[in-house]
Structure 1
Amino acid sequence: MTKAMSALVAFDLIKIGKLDEEAIVVVDPGLAAQWAGKGTTLSLRAGERLPVKRLIEGMITASANDATEVLAHHAAGSRGKWLALMNARASSLSMTDSTFASPSGWPDGGKTQVTARDMVRLARALIEDHPELYRRYFGHPVMTWRGTQLASRNPLAGRFKGADGIKTGHTSEVGYNFLGAAVRDGRRLVLVIGGAPSEATRAAAAQGLAEWGFTAWDSRQLVRKGQVVGRALVQDGSAPAVDLVPLRDWRLTVPHGSTARVTTRIVYRGPLGAPIEAGQVVAGLEVTVPGLPPHDIPLATGQRVTRAGPFDRMVNGLLGLLP
């Protein structure tokens, strides 16, 4: 599943114009020799020329180790620099329990470590930050390479309604793993499987878990992006208070048919002092459902509030005395 982080880094670079999907890459002879026969590969040849997009396809659909390593060297200049990008991106996603020491996931003596929770964060970034690239490269059951159909090992691709990603993984150290994703009727599901003893066990678990996720749970709209859910007082501001809004839509997943009461409360992160920029996260909406762990939704300021002049501060102070 390490290749999912390499895919995210590649997508990030494409988005900012640092990596061109159409650019031609010449396969370095040293890399071709180093990765020949190491796990799943495209059998890239020394001096072979191919566009970046084919390396990405090989990395994602065929899970080719050589394609991943060649892409990393081309995009970052060296393996070490690519790994630095991977770990920096993980840090930006608060993947605090994950470390990447290989672009491709090739066994590295346990240096690469990930958790299920962190993999969900990674999946969300792929899907939400790069929707077009995600649709273009993920979810394909096969890719054509040198006239041959290379099948994806994704146990859901082409077999489960709505499946569109993401990556499998396997080493003798940790077994068979899977970071999966599917969407039905606008509802997104991400699942993680780790340590399965066989490919067949992984496939059965993925199918069963995905079906259970869609049938045993209901998804309800909780709050919408920009919806005002509360207000926060502002000290020394040109306005006495500011709207609190979520930065994206949030849905609540509950057991199918549940009638449990949903309670919410705003948790403030300390006093607010002007000036304040719009979109600044200053509070959280704590959501509680009996029998489920509490969830915190970040709330941001809905408007910019400048620092008040002497007269405005006096008026706001008087308003604050009113019942």
Structure 2
Amino acid sequence: MRARNILCSALVSGLATVGLALPAAAIDTSARAALVLDVNTGTVLLSKNADVPLPPASMSKLMTLYMLFEALETTDLTLDSEFRVSEKAWRMGGSKMFLEVGKTVRVEDLIMGVIVHSGNDACVVIAENLAGSEAAFADRMTKKGRDLGLKASTFANSTGWPHPDQRMSAQDLVLLANLLVRDFPDLYPYFAETSFTWNGITQENRNPLLYLNLGADGLKTGHTEEAGYGLVASAERDDRRVTLMISGLDSSSDRRNESERLLNWAFRDFSERALFEADETIAVADLWIGTEGQVELVADGPVRVMVPYGVDEVTAEVRYRGPIEAPVEAGQQLATLEIGIEGQDPVRVPLLARDTVERGGFTARLAAAAATLRDRVFPPVATQ
């Protein structure tokens, strides 16, 4: 006996499917790749080549910092711990913190050197002291990235130095940025620092949004000839956070202007729409061979989306393959709520079983077998 493999798609009551012209809030970008995300609701406001692995330049230093921050949280490493500077680190070209070979430097100073100075020398010091070599550290970065869900990311170094195996997507960079905000609330404020002096040399943070009074509090710029000018940024206004990534711009001024334009648009042209409250039943799913024939589906918290001003309707569909074979556990994901907003990527929300439903006894299995046999002998007739 087996469950019938049917793709079920139910339109949620109260939300209508309508044909809409592209809303006035729709926007394009000159960036080669871009992603703008409303973090609180998970709504993608803009997506362009967001899943394409691209050279990330110094934006990949965010992964180096994630590895260091995690070590600070999980080992005996402290901000006052000191790392020794190797000749390899000292010889690094590009953006530098101007470390001196053979000297030691505090971990906190290295953090500032990476964030503010974008120091390639600082990244190599971190890599060598945490993993023994930069190559070993890059391998750890790739493995950790997989654990974090960075599906398109591979790392060949700790700095973002051009290499064919150094790749990240806009989706991965935005996800990583939000993980830094969420996982390290005590360390994330370093990203808002605008200047840092080391060895008598003061350098300014290259993140242009930090100086524009837009609520920006991070994260990292990047530039190589191959990658163009890019930025991963996050900003918070009135308890609403927006994270964006752009890359492939032609100049630093283009990067500043485009990131400012997109950030203002994201905060200005959208309003939050509450669709379902926490613990509200969104749909019911049919069960097979269970003590109950159906189970209620709920989301893990309230369901809210950001909708462009001027758009009145959104669509929502519950998708699952069913009937679902019992038993099911309370909290088990059984379906997905797919929310459609004209001009935006769908928002997908996992739907969970509200209650546990045990597998049925002999009578339930006999009834299921009879239903399966009936459908094989007398298949359903489509009607209109």
TM bin, normalised by shorter chain, reads 0.7 to 0.9
Give, in whole Å, the separation in 2 of the partners of 1:226 and 1:71: 45
Instruction: Give the alignment of 1:1-323 within 5 angstroms.
Output: 1-15=59-73, 17-18=74-75, 20-22=77-79, 24-35=81-92, 38-108=93-163, 110-134=164-188, 136-146=189-199, 148-223=201-276, 227-235=280-288, 241-247=294-300, 250-259=303-312, 261-303=313-355, 305=356, 307-308=358-359, 310=361
Which amino acid is the alignment partner of residue 195 of structure 2?
Answer: V
What is the DSSP-based 3-state SS (H/G/I as helix, E as strand, rest coil) of the residue aligned with 1:54?
helix
**CA drift at 1:270:** 4.5
1:287–1:52: structure 2 CA closer, same or farther, 3 Å change rule? same
Give the superposed CA RMSD.
3.0
**CA drift at 1:219:** 2.9
**CA drift at 1:277:** 4.3
1:271–1:90: structure 2 CA closer, same or farther, 3 Å change rule? farther
**CA drift at 1:213:** 1.7
Which amino acid is the alignment partner of residue 88 of structure 1?
Answer: K
Aligned residue pair count: 311
What is the DSSP-based 3-state SS (H/G/I as helix, E as strand, rest coil) of the residue aligned with 2:124?
helix
**CA drift at 1:169:** 0.3
Give, in whole Å, the separation in 2 of the partners of 1:224 and 1:177: 38
Which amino acid is the alignment partner of residue 2 of structure 1?
Answer: S
Contact kept? 1:155, 1:203, Cα under 8 Å: yes
Give, in whole Å, the separation in 2 of the partners of 1:131 and 1:249: 24
Give, in whole Å, the separation in 1 of the partners of 2:330 and 2:140: 29
**CA drift at 1:23:** 5.1
Query: Between Structure 1 and Structure 2, whose CA radius of gyration is higher?
Result: 2
1:232–1:39: structure 2 CA closer, same or farther, 3 Å change rule? same
**CA drift at 1:45:** 1.8
Residue identity (%)? 35
The CA deviation string for residues 124-167 of structure 1, in whole angstroms up to 9 with x for no partner, is: 32223333332x32222222434543210001013232101111
Which amino acid is the alignment partner of residue 83 of structure 1?
Answer: A
84-93 vs 234-243, greater mean Cα deviation: 234-243
212-221 vs 91-100, greater mean Cα deviation: 91-100
Give, in whole Å, the separation in 1 of the partners of 2:121 and 2:363: 65
Which amino acid is the alignment partner of residue 247 of structure 1?
Answer: D
1:182–1:227: structure 2 CA closer, same or farther, 3 Å change rule? farther
The aligned residue for residue 375 of structure 2 is none
61-70 vs 246-255, greater mean Cα deviation: 246-255
Higher relative contact order (CA 8 A, sep 6+): 2
The aligned residue for residue 5 of structure 2 is none
What is the DSSP-based 3-state SS (H/G/I as helix, E as strand, rest coil) of the residue aligned with 1:157?
helix
1:77–1:235: structure 2 CA closer, same or farther, 3 Å change rule? farther
115-124 vs 61-70, greater mean Cα deviation: 115-124
Contact kept? 2:290, 2:327, Cα under 8 Å: yes
Which amino acid is the alignment partner of residue 117 of structure 1?
Answer: Q
Normalising by structure 1, report the TM-score: 0.82
Contact kept? 2:276, 2:303, Cα under 8 Å: yes
The aligned residue for residue 320 of structure 1 is none
Normalising by structure 2, report the TM-score: 0.70
Which amino acid is the alignment partner of residue 91 of structure 1?
Answer: R
1:247–1:54: structure 2 CA closer, same or farther, 3 Å change rule? farther
The CA deviation string for residues 9-31 of structure 1, in whole angstroms up to 9 with x for no partner, is: 3333334x136233523314333
Which amino acid is the alignment partner of residue 267 of structure 1?
Answer: R
**CA drift at 1:176:** 1.0
**CA drift at 1:90:** 2.9
**CA drift at 1:5:** 1.9
